[in-house]
């Protein structure tokens, strides 16, 4: 029955929970992906940066060597060149050392440089130029730094290998490019003329070059797969769990929503089952709630009472049920026999601080009404639920007893209460659970259980109601054991209270 209601809401429920799952998963994976890209980039930049600083260290001795050569510029080349050769052997990274006169190499450690290599005045001093060699190693990369004043000075050149041989020692540097002005080269040392550079770059602060590399989407994907598969799967699982939670919650909320509406529409109606005395004379009734839903017909309490109790809706539901019951019975008040018992089921929640007043108010309405003169109100508290706060319950019991309201322990034998609880709470009736009545006339092993439970009930010196009596055999047995009241299909199933009134009170 309730499934039909749920079906109408399924679509919305699925939508919400799938959206929640996908939403959480997307946010989670986006964070993981962004984090991975960031850390991958940072790692690459660190490696680029280390190449830059290694190259800078190799160029470190340039200032010193230029300062050593500068005093030689005034000497004749025959003297100067010997000194230049003495200097160059001390430094591995230099290819040639040269003295410039009139912007052209005049003296050099390599004779081919003389009168062949020149400097241009427009380039600033002490700046690194990386270029293609035309004199000593034509076609290969060299580095050059000059310091020339008034067309005279010093020029030093480096073997290009000092730049790219480093890459051999750096992990994953296949795509690293060393770039300066208009040229770049990679670890192969082949010159490319292009100013285009890749997306990640670290530039030297001191010299005119940078190291850059391209990171492709594929690199990021590989990185994520390698390091974050587990996290992503974990997020997928978490998203599914949350999705399921949302799904169940949506289900609960939608049922609750319908239930609230139904209280407003007065869809919860009282059914009644007669309770007879041992002579078979009508002595009372038990009100059993039914949900008469406009779309789905009659719904039984075992479906909605647990949800009503869990959500607290049981409180307004009971208030309404009691009011409806009292109103209907008042209409036939004159036909109701004296001492008639009206049984109402209540829940443990009714004794919580926040709900007590609601129960007491409903009872007050009863005691203030004319029904009170000839009937007894009996509140049935089930043993199946545990009592939340024993002291609170006891004080409400006292209040109710002062109002002459009677209390029954329902489903006796099935639940939580210990005998001392029952004694202290001052019940007036005991309703023996149907499961014990069912044992009557069954087998020899089970039968003593029934005797024991009846015996126990009698020792408590309370009036006893047997529930779920269906057969003559059960009835006879209960009569011989002096059980006071009988309730069950033997006499009648629960029927709408209106029908009950028609049947018994007209």
Contacts with Mn ion by CB under 5 A lie at 345, 380, 410
* Residue in 289, 396, 408, 463 binding ligand G, rule: CB under 6 A: 289
Cβ at position 11, least distance to ligand G in Å: 31
Task: Look up residue 288 and give its two tokens.
Answer: 């059993």
383 binds ligand G per the rule CB under 6 A:
no
Region 445-474 residues binding ligand G, contact defined as CB under 6 A: 467-470
Contact region with ligand G (CB under 6 A), list: 32-40, 55-63, 474-482, 484-492: 484-492
**H-only helix segments in 281-313:** 301-311
Burial track 310-341 (b if 16+ CB lie within 10 A, e otherwise): eeebbbbbbbbbbebbbebbeeeeeebeeebb
Beta strands of 294-339 (E only): which ranges? Answer: 297-299
81 binds ligand G per the rule CB under 6 A:
no
Contact region with ligand G (CB under 6 A), list: 148-156, 229-237, 241-249, 294-302: 294-302
Size of the site for ligand G (CB under 6 A): 27
Q: Given CA atoms 238, 241, 247, 250 in this order, what sign does their dihedral have? A: negative
273 binds ligand G per the rule CB under 6 A:
yes
Cβ at position 5, least distance to ligand G in Å: 19
Q: Per-residue x/- marks for ligand G, 332-351, CB under 6 A? A: -------------xxx----
The CA-based angle 122-133-120, given to 5 degrees, is 15
- CB-based contacts of 74: which residues, under 8 Å, 6+ apart? none
Q: Per-residue x/- marks for ligand G, 164-193, CB under 6 A? A: ------------------------------
Q: Given CA atoms 432, 437, 440, 444 in this order, what sign does their dihedral have? A: negative
Q: Given CA atoms 235, 237, 238, 244 in this order, what sign does their dihedral have? A: positive
Q: Residue 441: which of ligand G, Mn ion, none does it interact with, CB under 5 to 8 A by kind?
A: none
Cβ at position 230, least distance to ligand G in Å: 49
Q: Residue 243: which of Mn ion, ligand G, none does it interact with, CB under 5 to 8 A by kind?
A: none
Indicate the residue among 153 and 284 with the shorter CB distance to Mn ion: 284
Exposed, middle or buried, 10 (CB in 10 Å: 0-12/13-18/19+)?
Answer: middle
Q: Residue 273: which of ligand G, Mn ion, none does it interact with, CB under 5 to 8 A by kind?
A: ligand G
Look at residues 368, 261, 277 and name the one whose alpha carbon lies nearest to residue 316: 261
CA–CA gap between residue 395 and residue 44 (Å, rounded): 74
Q: What is the binding site for ligand G (CB under 6 A)?
A: 273, 288-289, 300-302, 305, 314, 318, 321, 345-347, 380, 382, 410-411, 431, 434, 467-470, 487-489, 494
């Amino acid at each position: 029955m309730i499934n039909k209601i749920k079906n109408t809401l399924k679509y919305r429920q699925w939508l919400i929970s799938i959206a929640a799952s996908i939403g959480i998963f997307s946010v989670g994976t986006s964070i993981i992906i962004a984090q991975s890209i960031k850390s991958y980039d940072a790692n690459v930049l660190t490696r680029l940066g280390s190449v830059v600083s290694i190259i800078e260290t190799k160029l470190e001795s340039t200032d010193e060597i230029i300062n050593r050569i500068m005093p030689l510029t005034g000497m004749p080349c025959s003297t100067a060149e010997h000194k230049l050769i003495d200097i160059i052997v001390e430094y591995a990274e230099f290819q040639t050392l040269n003295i410039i006169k009139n912007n052209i190499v005049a003296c050099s450690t390599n004779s081919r440089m003389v009168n062949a290599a020149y400097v241009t005045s427009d380039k600033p001093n002490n700046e690194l130029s990386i270029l293609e060699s035309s004199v000593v190693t034509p076609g290969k990369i060299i580095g050059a730094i000059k310091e020339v004043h008034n067309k005279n000075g010093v020029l030093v050149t480096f073997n290009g290998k000092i730049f790219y041989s480093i890459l051999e020692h750096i992990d994953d540097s296949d795509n690293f490019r060393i770039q300066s002005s208009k040229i770049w080269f990679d670890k192969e040392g082949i010159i490319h003329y292009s100013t285009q550079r890749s997306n990640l770059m670290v530039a030297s602060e001191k010299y005119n070059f940078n190291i850059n590399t391209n990171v492709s989407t594929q690199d990021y994907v590989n990185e994520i797969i390698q390091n974050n598969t587990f996290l992503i799967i974990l997020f997928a699982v978490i998203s599914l769990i949350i999705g399921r939670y949302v799904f169940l919650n949506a289900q609960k909320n939608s049922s609750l929503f319908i239930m609230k509406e139904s209280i407003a529409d007065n869809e919860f109606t009282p059914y009644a089952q007669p309770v007879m005395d041992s002579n078979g004379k009508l002595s009372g009734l038990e009100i059993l709630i039914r949900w008469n839903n406009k779309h789905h017909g009659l719904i039984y309490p075992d479906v909605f009472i647990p949800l009503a109790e869990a959500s607290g809706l049981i409180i307004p539901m009971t208030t309404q049920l009691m009011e409806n019951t009292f109103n209907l019975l008042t209409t036939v008040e004159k036909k109701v026999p004296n001492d008639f018992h009206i049984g109402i089921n209540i829940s443990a929640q009714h004794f919580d601080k926040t709900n007590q007043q609601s129960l007491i108010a409903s009872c007050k309405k009863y005691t203030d009404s004319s029904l009170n003169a000839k009937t007894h109100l009996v509140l049935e508290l089930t043993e199946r639920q545990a009592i939340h706060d024993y002291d609170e319950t006891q004080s409400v019991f006292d209040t109710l007893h002062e109002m002459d309201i009677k209390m029954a322990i329902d489903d006796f034998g099935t639940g939580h209460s210990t005998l001392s609880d029952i004694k202290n709470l001052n019940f007036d009736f005991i309703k023996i659970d149907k499961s014990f009545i069912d044992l009557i006339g069954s087998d020899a092993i089970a039968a003593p259980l029934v005797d024991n439970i009846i015996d126990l009930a009698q020792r408590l010196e309370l009036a006893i109601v047997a529930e779920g009596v269906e057969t003559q055999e059960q009835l006879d047995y209960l009569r011989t054991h002096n059980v006071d009241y009988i309730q069950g299909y033997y006499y009648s199933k629960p029927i709408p209270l209106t029908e009950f009134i028609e049947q018994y009170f007209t």
